[in-house]
């Protein structure tokens, strides 16, 4: 499969890249801007493949879902604030807690991290874009459409209602005959496609798109976090997509996978769901831990303590994460040996997490912390991470799990983990990178207010849930009798959750105010060490006018660290401007080995996303011909997308020059 060596004279097949500088305003820089900027107006909006634009869309959309999931939670907390409430019917409550879970887990926590990574990866790695810019656009569009798909059932009173874990037999046709479950099953298969193509993009980007010299031991921890999460997704998502699809077959085609009377096994659902579900827990926290590992040192004025240990513990967490799914099934009736083994692995997984925690504490301890808003969020996260981790170790103990299973203790644990390890770093991360995103600083006073209100509200709201669980309150009940002893804890929880929501509101006000009135940010307002801060704020469409040559882990701190003189070169290097180009490097030590031709903007990802969402709509409504038609339209979009390009020297049969030459 090796290529025949091209004639050395053929510039289109092989060339020596131009080396030079392209300062702002120079003809070379203007040419780059022309090449990389999307068309103005709706055309550019629909066809753009710029990772920064897509990253911000991911962030914005995920935040809207966070708000929707939050409103659902608040309605539930109103219902649960006092005993014997009648605000909601049991069926409405079921739909609310299901959509709350689905929204927060699938439509907020992973997509929001994809948003950060999409925006930051190429900038942190010193590249002009992701490996597959069009795939990036596709993963966003499918994410958006599957969210709309899931939510469009809600106003019709047919929202999914069997919990985000959707256990059979309750989710089977016999007990749940409405379209609710079909919406969930099909919507999640669709969302799985988005996650998978997004993950493929991250993995290939890491291995191929790093700037020369950015060897694997120099990438930021956020990159490690998203990489391991993406690798996990590639292995784990098929499991749950299959489970959803088999469920849909059971409900629509009359198969018997989960149907006990004909030999099917409900436990199969639990295995397939949690083989995905548990690695997924780490997929939604590891990149967030990466955010902290990269941003926290900036505020401590020193590099992260134990970079290699943290990077390795990230991977170890993910590997172990595949070996613990059974701990969700302890109470379902399993052999003792299986429970012992999975109980033990579930406890072992706290070791790599502890490594990360100690690394953060040591970084704060040995540094000179500056107490800006992002620092507060990251430090608060460390505390919540410890509490969530401890309650996790408790539920990993089989006898305790028997006691705590299906109580509010578990609800408390998972909220400490997901809000503590996901929401706090995310909000802190937005405070941190806001100047890079929009070129303006966020307001510090409002920032500190938002942190303290969120932090106090969160602990006030969710800590008592542990107590409710220990007092025996089960999950997913829509109301309770007044004499159970749960009245006070529930009232406190409801009050706390509204205070927490007020904190989020202050944060959103801060975003809105700062977007217009924030102080104008310099390229590197926090004096941070990583490569994304070498670009202007916000970065130009092409990211880097010349591809940087990286010589250390902290390119912007080289002059002050023991490494001596600055060796990373940011001003002079590869120009690469015969069309949209960037450099491809070897997987481990990042030596340049190809000039990559990057794709132009295209409508194909939007239409492929739209048509595939319509395929699933057709399946839901049993419109066979429509489904087949949309399937063909999807195939057609893909062919248009992949049609051989002249700029890759495909379909150039005569001696014409490749398009996009620079003659400036």
Partner 1 sequence: MAERVQLDKLLPVGSAGKRSGGWWGMWTLIVTEGSLFGYLLFTYFYLASQTEQYWPPEGPPLLWMPGLNTGILLTSSLFVWVCERCLASGRPRWSLASMAIALMLGMGFVLIQLNEWQKKSFDMTTNLYGSLYFTITGFHMLHVLVGLFILMILLIWIALGYFDHRRYAAVTIGGLYWHFVDVVWLFVFSTLYLFPYLDST
- Residue 649, token pair as written in the block: 């020297």
List 39, 177, 262, 536, residue binding partner 1 (CB under 8 A): 262
Smallest gap from Cβ 216 to partner 1, in A, equals 8
Does 256 help bind partner 1 (rule: CB under 8 A)? yes
- Take residue 458 and report the two structure tokens written for it: 């969160």
**Sole residue written with tokens 């405070």:** 431
- Counting contacts by CB under 8 A, is residue 244 touching partner 1? no
Q: Which is nearer to partner 1, 460 or 638 (CB)?
A: 638
Task: Check residue 25 for interaction with partner 1 (CB under 8 A).
Answer: no
What's the min distance (Å) between Cβ of 240 and partner 1?
A: 9
User: Minimum distance between the CB of residue 664 and partner 1, rounded to whole angstroms?
Assistant: 19
Q: DSSP H helical segments within 439-486, as ranges?
A: 444-470
Q: Which of 38, 85, 158, 215 binds partner 1 (CB under 8 A)?
A: 215
* CA–CA distances in Å: residue 402 to residues 334, 337, 405, 413, 477: 12, 16, 5, 15, 19
Which residue among 165, 167, 207, 452 contacts partner 1 (CB under 8 A)?
207
Mode of pairing for the β-strands spanning 19-21 and 569-574: antiparallel
Question: What is the footprint of partner 1 within residues 115-134 (CB under 8 A)?
Answer: 131-132
If the CB atoms of residues 257 and 449 are measured against partner 1, the closer one turns out to be: 257
Work out whether 565 is an interface residue with partner 1 (CB under 8 A): no
Q: Which residue, 612, 606, 602, 604, is CA-closest to 192?
A: 612
Min dist CB 458 to partner 1, Å, is: 36
Answer for which of 595, 600, 641, 660 binds partner 1 (CB under 8 A) is 595
Residue 504 to residue 74: CA distance in whole angstroms: 13
Closest to 369 measured CA to CA, from 300, 270, 307:
300
User: Minimum CB separation from partner 1 for residue 190, in Å?
Assistant: 15
User: Could you say which of 265, 301, 448, 475 contacts partner 1 (CB under 8 A)?
Assistant: 265
Nearer to partner 1, 413 or 554 (CB): 554
CB 394 within 8 Å of CB 400: yes
Task: Provide, rounded to whole angstroms, the least separation between the CB of residue 591 and partner 1.
Answer: 6
x/- mask, partner 1, residues 481-510, rule CB under 8 A, reads ------------------------------
Nearest to 293 by CA among 363, 199, 354, 391: 363
In angstroms, the CA 571 to CA 205 distance is 23
Looking only at residues 617 through 646 of this chain, which bind partner 1 when binding is defined by CB under 8 A? 635, 639, 642, 644
Residues numbered 319-378 forming contacts with partner 1, rule: CB under 8 A? none
Name which position in 66, 80, 541, 549 contacts partner 1 (CB under 8 A). Answer: 549
Among 588, 621, 628, 640, binds partner 1 (CB under 8 A): 588
With contact defined as beta carbons under 8 Å apart, do 496 and 459 qualify? Answer: yes
For 584, phi then psi, to 5°, come to: -105, 140
Candidate list 241, 313, 345, 537; residue touching partner 1; CB under 8 A: 241
- Of 439, 472, 592, 660, the one binding partner 1 by CB under 8 A: 592
Which of the stretches 77-85, 95-103, 259-267, 353-361 binds partner 1 when contact is defined by CB under 8 A? 259-267
Q: Which is nearer to partner 1, 6 or 474 (CB)?
A: 6
Q: Which is nearer to partner 1, 13 or 370 (CB)?
A: 13
Choice from 88, 107, 135, 501 touching partner 1 (CB under 8 A): 135
| Of 173, 272, 283, 614, the one binding partner 1 by CB under 8 A | 272
CB of 395 closer than 8 Å to CB of 413: yes
Q: What is the 3-state secondary structure (H, E, C) of 253-275?
A: CCCCCCCHHHCCCHHHHHHHHHH
Binding-site size, partner 1 (CB under 8 A): 80
Nearer to partner 1, 4 or 337 (CB): 4
Which two three-digit tokens encode residue 297? Answer: 């040192």
CB of 598 to partner 1, least distance (A): 9
Smaller CB distance to partner 1: residue 517 or 663? 663
Cα 659 to Cα 593: distance, rounded to the nearest angstrom: 22
In whole angstroms, the minimum distance from the beta carbon of 507 to partner 1 comes to 36
Nearer to partner 1, 200 or 456 (CB): 200
**From the list 208, 327, 553, 580, which residue makes contact with partner 1 (rule: CB under 8 A)?**
208
Contacts 24+ apart (CB under 8 A), 359-363: 359/293, 359/304, 359/305, 359/306, 359/309, 359/310, 360/292, 360/293, 360/296, 362/305, 362/306, 363/296, 363/297, 363/300, 363/302, 363/303, 363/304, 363/305
Asked whether position 661 contacts partner 1 by CB under 8 A, the answer is no
275 counts as binding partner 1 under rule CB under 8 A: yes
Whose tokens are 């699933």? That residue is 616
**What separation in angstroms does the CA of 111 have from each of 60, 139, 166, 222, 609?**
10, 10, 21, 15, 16
Exactly one of 34, 444, 593, 622 binds partner 1 (CB under 8 A); that residue is: 593
Residue 263, interface with partner 1 (CB under 8 A)?
yes
Nearest to 397 by CA among 311, 306, 331: 331
Q: From CA 551, how far away is CA 559, in angstroms rounded?
A: 12
């Amino acid at each position: 499969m090796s290529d025949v060596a091209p004639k050395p004279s053929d510039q289109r097949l092989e060339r020596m890249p131009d080396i030079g500088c392209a300062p702002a305003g120079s003809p070379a820089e203007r040419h780059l801007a022309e090449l990389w900027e999307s068309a103005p107006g709706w055309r550019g909006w629909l066809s753009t493949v710029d990772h920064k634009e897509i990253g911000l869309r991911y962030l914005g959309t995920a935040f809207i879902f966070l708000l929707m999931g939050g409103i659902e939670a608040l309605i539930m907390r109103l219902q649960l604030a006092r005993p014997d409430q009648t605000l909601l019917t049991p069926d409405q409550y079921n739909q609310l807690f299901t959509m709350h879970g689905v929204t927060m887990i699938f439509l907020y926590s992973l997509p929001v991290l994809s948003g950060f990574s999409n925006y930051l990866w190429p900038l942190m790695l010193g590249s002009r874009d992701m490996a597959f810019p069009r795939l990036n656009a596709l993963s966003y569009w499918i994410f958006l459409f599957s969210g709309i798909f899931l939510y469009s059932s809600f106003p019709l009173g047919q929202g999914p209602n069997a919990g985000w874990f959707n256990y059979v037999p309750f989710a089977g046709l016999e007990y749940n005959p409405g379209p609710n479950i079909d919406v969930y099953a099909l919507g999640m298969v669709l969302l799985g496609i988005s996650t998978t193509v997004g993950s493929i993009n991250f993995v290939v980007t890491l291995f191929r798109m790093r700037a020369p010299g950015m060897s694997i031991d120099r990438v930021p921890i956020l990159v490690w976090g998203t990489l391991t999460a993406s690798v996990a997704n590639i292995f784990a998502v098929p499991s749950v997509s299959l489970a959803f699809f088999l469920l849909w077959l059971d409900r629509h085609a009359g198969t018997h996978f989960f149907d006990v009377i004909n030999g099917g096994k409900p436990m199969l659902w639990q295995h397939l769901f949690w083989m995905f579900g548990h690695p997924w827990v780490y997929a939604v926290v590891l990149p967030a831990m990466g955010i902290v590992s990269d941003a926290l040192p900036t505020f401590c004025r020193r590099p992260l303590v134990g970079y290699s240990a943290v990077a390795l513990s990230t991977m170890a967490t993910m590997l172990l994460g595949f070996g613990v799914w059974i701990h969700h099934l302890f109470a379902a009736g399993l052999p003792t040996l299986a429970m012992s083994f999975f109980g033990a692995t579930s406890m072992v997984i706290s070791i790599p997490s502890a490594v990360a925690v100690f690394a953060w504490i040591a970084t704060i301890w040995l540094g000179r912390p500056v107490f800006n808003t992002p620092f507060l969020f990251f430090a608060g996260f460390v505390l919540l991470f410890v509490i969530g981790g401890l309650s996790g170790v408790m539920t990993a103990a089989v006898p305790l799990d028997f006691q705590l299973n299906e109580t509010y203790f578990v609800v408390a644990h998972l909220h400490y983990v997901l809000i503590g390890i996901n929401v706090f770093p995310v909000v802190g991360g937005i405070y941190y990178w806001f100047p890079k995103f929009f070129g303006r600083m966020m307001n510090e006073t409002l920032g500190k207010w938002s942190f303290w209100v969120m932090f106090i509200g969160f602990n006030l709201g969710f800590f008592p849930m542990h107590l409710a669980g220990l007092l025996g309150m089960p999950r997913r009940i829509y109301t309770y009798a007044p004499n159970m002893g749960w009245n006070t804890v529930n009232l406190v929880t409801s009050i706390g959750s509204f205070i927490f929501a007020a904190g989020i509101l202050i944060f959103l006000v801060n975003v809105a105010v700062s977007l217009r009135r924030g102080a104008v940010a310099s390229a590197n307002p926090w004096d941070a060490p990583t490569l994304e801060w070498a670009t202007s704020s916000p970065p130009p469409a092409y990211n880097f006018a010349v591809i940087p040559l990286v010589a250390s882990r902290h390119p912007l701190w080289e002059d002050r660290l023991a490494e001596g003189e600055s060796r990373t070169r940011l001003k002079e290097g590869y120009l690469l401007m015969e069309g949209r180009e960037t450099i491809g490097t070897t997987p481990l030590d990042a030596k340049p080995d190809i000039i990559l031709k990057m794709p132009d903007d295209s409508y194909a990802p939007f239409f492929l996303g739209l048509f595939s969402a319509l395929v699933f709509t057709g399946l839901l409504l049993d419109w066979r011909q429509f489904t087949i038609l949309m399937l063909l339209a999807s195939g057609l979009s893909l062919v248009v997308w992949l049609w051989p390009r002249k700029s890759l020297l495909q379909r150039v049969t005569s001696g014409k020059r490749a398009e996009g030459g620079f003659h400036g």
